[in-house]
Amino acid sequence: MTLYCGIDLHSNNHVIVVIDEEDNKLVNKRIDNNLSTTIELLSPFKNQLHSIAVESTFNWYWLVDGLLDAGFSVELVNTAAVKQYEGLKYSGDHQDAFFLAHLMRLGILPTGHIYPKERRAVRDLLRRRRQLVRQSSTHLISIQNQIWRSLGYRVDSNQMKKLDFELPFEQNSYLYHSANANLQVLQLLQLQIHQIETEVLNAVNLENEYKLLTGITGIGPILGLTIMLETGNIQRFDDVGNYVSYCRCVNSLRESNGKKKAQATAKQVTNTYHGRFQKPRITLYVLTVKQSVFMREKSKTKRHRRHTRCGT
């Protein structure tokens, strides 16, 4: 007899439900987040379990990796695509775990990609770099605005990133202390960003995909590495449209009778990957416009020279 398991995962505990082919519950229990306890509870059903459905929450790494290492088959559930009937009179953690197992039994459980553990840490390190870059930009703009507001001129951001940059304020003044607080944090963040870039470049074998990516206008070494690691095995996408949608580069709009009904929220369309593709798109657009202007001017010059030779 084939069994199905659903796990509703929380920050400090999770609910495990195991059902049979007729939706009878064999296990329905809430336990603390302890891998040994989870494996001990599921081990008697290991040979009969079709798979274990685990919610893709913020803390799924330890549970999914642990179950896979223990020899269980695991499916990572796309929680955004799991919708229960909104008219239910009761809904809770036990019902949610049962619903995951039920969908698995019916063969309609929406699942996501389980990124390989070996490269996941490197990918997450690049995501941390992005966080530090944002914080660095915040401190840089704060210093820049304070100088501009107080002294009436703008300091170039590249100059401010240099280690020998000195603030144009009288030392021991309140303006100096205010800007210096940002400057000290900015320099520390720049150091950490550089260290992360060095670690990542040394940790990953640069594949053919990386060479292809860095050959695209607007994609440098770090951005190319980020896209490569975020993509993973590109064969997991059925077609180009799925990949473009995954990158959040497709407009989301729902219409009925020619009228706009709904649109994706900012949280749905803005993620790490969307930001990574914005830079090369903008850079490529700017360079294309510049190239078009250059070729048009060059064409005018050639026509002028030809007409001059012909005496026209």
CATH number for the domain harbouring residue 30: 3.30.420.40
Please indicate, yes or no, if residue 276 is contained in any of the structural domains: no
Q: Which of 64, 80, 106 is the last residue of a domain?
A: 106
Rg (CA), the chain: 27
Tokens at residue 198, please? 């060095």
Q: Is 94 helix (H, G, I), strand (E, B) or coil?
A: helix
How confident is the model at residue 277, as a pLDDT?
A: 58
Q: What is the mean pLDDT of residues 40-58?
A: 95
Please indicate, yes or no, if residue 263 is contained in any of the structural domains: no
167-186 pLDDT tens trace: 999 998 999 999 999 999 99
Backbone angles phi, psi at 8, to 5 degrees: -95, 105
State yes or no: pLDDT of 211 exceeds 60. Answer: yes
H or E segment and range at residue 74:
strand 74-77
H or E segment and range at residue 208:
helix 208-214
| Contact between residue 28 and residue 13 where contact means Cβ atoms under 8 Å apart | no
Task: Look up the domain containing 97 and give its range.
Answer: 3-106
Q: Which of 63-72, 119-128, 134-143, 267-276 has the lowest mean pLDDT?
A: 267-276
Q: Which of 160, 175, 204 is the last residue of a domain?
A: 204
How confident is the model at residue 24, as a pLDDT?
A: 96
Q: What is the mean pLDDT of residues 278-284?
A: 53
Give the chain's mean pLDDT: 85
Please indicate, yes or no, if residue 237 is contained in any of the structural domains: no
Query: How many angstroms separate the CA atoms of 241 and 234, rounded?
Result: 12
DSSP state of 92: -
Q: What is the mean pLDDT of residues 12-34?
A: 96
Residues with Cβ within 8 Å of 296's Cβ and at least 6 positions away in sequence, in order, are none
What percentage of the chain carries pLDDT values higher than 90? Answer: 55
> Looking at the structure, do residues 98 and 131 belong to the same domain, yes or no?
no
Please indicate, yes or no, if residue 19 is contained in any of the structural domains: yes
> Looking at the structure, do residues 123 and 99 belong to the same domain, yes or no?
no
State yes or no: pLDDT of 200 exceeds 80. Answer: yes
Task: Give the range with max mean pLDDT: 90-94, 128-132, 298-302.
Answer: 128-132
Please indicate, yes or no, if residue 226 is contained in any of the structural domains: no
In 3D, which of 141, 134, 194, 135 has the Cα closest to residue 163?
Answer: 194
Strands 3-9 and 49-55: parallel
Q: How many domains does the chain have?
A: 2
> Looking at the structure, do residues 148 and 71 belong to the same domain, yes or no?
no
**Crossing angle (nearest 10°) for helices 61-69 and 117-151:** 160
28-48 pLDDT tens trace: 999 999 999 999 999 999 999
More confident of the two residues 249 and 197? 197
Q: Which of 61, 79, 106 is the last residue of a domain?
A: 106
How confident is the model at residue 165, as a pLDDT?
A: 93
In 3D, which of 164, 133, 165, 167 has the Cα closest to residue 150?
Answer: 167
87-115 pLDDT tens trace: 777 789 999 999 999 999 999 999 999 99
Please indicate, yes or no, if residue 283 is contained in any of the structural domains: no
State yes or no: pLDDT of 300 exceeds 90. Answer: no
Please indicate, yes or no, if residue 121 is contained in any of the structural domains: yes
